[in-house]
Amino acid sequence: MPTRRTALALLAGSTTALALGTAPPALAHDRPFGRHGSPARRRDRATLYVDAHGRGDHTTVQAAVDAATGTGHTLVIAPGTYRETVDIPADRTGLTLIGASGDPRDTVIVYDNANGTPRPDGSGTYGTSGSATVTARPAGLTARDLTFANDWLRADHPDYTGTQAVAIKVTGDRSAFLGCRFLGHQDTLYADSASLTDFARQYYRDCYVEGDVDFVFGRASAVLDRCHFRTLTRTDLAAAPYGFVFAPSTAGADPHGFLVLRSRVTSTAPDGYFKLARPWVPSSDLTAHPMLTVRDSHLGAGIDADEPYGTMSAGFPWQDQRFAEYRNTGPGARVTVPANRPQLTRAEAREHTPAAWFGDWRP
């Protein structure tokens, strides 16, 4: 049986298992920071180097974040597994995090808290937000070539009712994640905002996200472009549905929720065992009006084509939300019941673009 720390690697949606802590020899021994310099040949004073083996300025990501006071710092992170939680304060604006090897599988930030995990001080459990391996609060954050993971597993804690386990929670405006991987099961990627009136724009390009229940969720005005979403099989359930890919909770006043384009959804589960989305109207904001557009994307057979959407809370059916599709392909995109597959017109589709979502921001 796989250990808790390797189970996500074995389930990862690629032909090569995620190597937690395994780096290419050239980077691991000779040049841990690759082309990005080193403490001896520092790019500039705003660049800090992280290496678990002591060849950088800091051995943990959190220590580097703590040292990167002010704006515009860059953290170059050497290949390895960083088993820690990381909280990036809002005042670290313009922060950039780079996985040194250029391959996100080489540099992994991972921990295993869940919603129901007791806090060490006895003050209760972590809750969903508190379970995040990484919490990214600042505006203007950029992350490249990194893996963010939460390897908590239901099988290890059958007594838990709070099984949400977040890999990363992002709340900052103008946040960009390029070539990153997000690994977990329930609530993997929390694309959120700092408040109901803060319409946080976020961009995810060429990223990989895996999970089972609501594994891309939140309130952000997020564009997910050329991404791969992988739904995982479950051994604790005997019947469909196993879960949902998207669960937006867009504020009612925000004209832009989740926009998914030029992406693909694949599955390790049986055909039709996953829903594409369900709306999340949290108890803290009953005025939420969840929005999701999926366009120009390939939906694999894991998606239930007949009933691709579900309802999370009574009184807030998906049909009353802002869900739409446009020019999708694949067996999971077949329109078998037109009433269950709301489609944009060509004119409407011209308003569902990254430019419309981002306004004056060009990530």
The number of beta carbons lying within 10 Å of the beta carbon of residue 161 is: 8
- What H or E segment, with its residue span, contains residue 9? helix 4-11
Three-state SS for 155? helix
Nearest to 270 by CA among 297, 236, 311, 304: 304
The tally of CA atoms less than 13 A away on the side-chain side of residue 19 is: 12
Peptide bond into 241 cis (omega under 30): yes
Task: Confirm if 210 and 230 have CB atoms less than 8 A apart.
Answer: yes
Tell me how far the alpha carbon of residue 35 is from its chain's centroid.
27
* Local structure of residue 226 (DSSP, 8 states): S
Q: Sheet containing 291-295: which strands, arranged edge to edge?
A: 47-50, 74-77, 96-99, 142-144, 175-178, 201-205, 221-225, 258-261, 291-295, 322-326
| Element at 282 (helix H, strand E) | none
Nearest by Cα to 183 from 251, 121, 134: 134
CA distance 235 to 222: 31
Distance CA 322, CA 231 (A): 23
Q: Which of 57, 106, 145, 187 is catalytic?
A: 187
**Is 187 one of the catalytic residues?**
yes
The residues with which 201 forms a beta bridge, in sequence order, are 221
Per the listing, tokens 């549905």 go with 241
The answer for residues whose C-beta is within 8 angstroms of residue 104's C-beta and 6 or more apart is: 145, 146, 147, 179, 180, 181, 208
To the query of whether residue 214 is one of the catalytic residues in this protein, the response is yes
Q: Which of 214, 225, 254, 304 is catalytic?
A: 214
Q: How far apart are CA 283 and CA 341, in angstroms?
A: 27
Length of the chain: 363
Active site residues: 187, 214
